[in-house]
Amino acid sequence: MGRVTPLAAERAYMSRQVLTEGDRLTVDGLVLRVRVSARRKRFALSVEPDAGLALHTPEGRPAADAEDFVRAHRSWLVRKAGVRERTRPLNPPKRLIDGEVFRYLGRTYRLAISPDAPAEGRVRLVAGRLVVSEEQAEDPERGRAALVDWYCRAGRAWTAGRLQPWAARMGVPEPELEVRDLGQRWGLYRPGEDGRRPGRMSLGWPLFQLPMHLVDYVSAHELAHVRVPGHRANFWRLLGQALPEYEERRVELDELGRRMWMGEIA
């Protein structure tokens, strides 16, 4: 009888091991989180928002089969993981302290904690400084809410007068405008309910930390959705008519955007 090699013994062991939710599977130096679903019929791979790797598997599948699948798709997985790592958000938290730096339309402004500002008052931009009250600075939730409110107000006021020229270039009606929290999205367009009334364009408040030309890019992008839903070729053609350099701005938005403050308080 031939001698059983360590590799063969390991293979036999793995063929008996059934993957379960939350396992960690290591394959040739790659560590994958295991996600099990009763509805799934086959293996799949994904790169998660934190650049971690995940293996999606049906119930009852042995680890040996999973390893074979990962090895067969290793080059794809490594390539996708590299892209996600290069584009992973690097959004730093902010501290509510005197001198902390905040951005607005590409310029930097420092926070000023004022003992004279009303406790429930709105944040104001005064002489190049964002002024908040001591009470707001001492309460992270109140301080964050006050700053987000300022970005929403300032962003809406700045954008309101800039939509009409972009809308005219694309031959679309100017939608209603709001600035609010959209999570990780920069913008969103929703058509009117009856198809005749103007739709609503929403811009995420973190957008207004970016330079003006990138805010304009996102505005033009959402205005193009007034005519064309989705991102088919005719959408990019319409956007390109109004903004020929849209591809360069999209790349710049991806790079700068991942470094913007998204509301986390340290």
Over the stretch 170-203, which tens digit does the pLDDT of each residue have?
999 999 999 999 998 999 999 987 666 779 999 9
Mean pLDDT of the chain: 88
Q: Are strands 176-180 and 44-47 parallel, antiparallel or unpaired?
A: unpaired
CA 21/CA 3 separation, integer angstroms = 35
The answer on pLDDT for 235 being more than 60 is yes
First-to-last C-alpha distance (Å) of the chain:
65
**Highest-confidence segment of 11-20, 89-98, 117-126, 228-237:** 228-237
Q: Rounded to two decimals, what is the model's pTM?
A: 0.69
Domain boundaries in the chain?
Answer: 6-87, 101-148, 158-257
**Average pLDDT value for residue range 63-67:** 92
Q: What is the CA radius of gyration of the chain?
A: 25
**Average pLDDT value for residue range 215-235:** 95
The answer on pLDDT for 5 being more than 60 is no
Q: Which CATH superfamily is domain 158-257 in?
A: Metalloproteases ("zincins"), catalytic domain (3.30.2010.10)
Pick from 171, 160, 163: nearest CA to 228: 171
CB 62 within 8 A of CB 233: no
Residue 2: its pLDDT value, please? 53
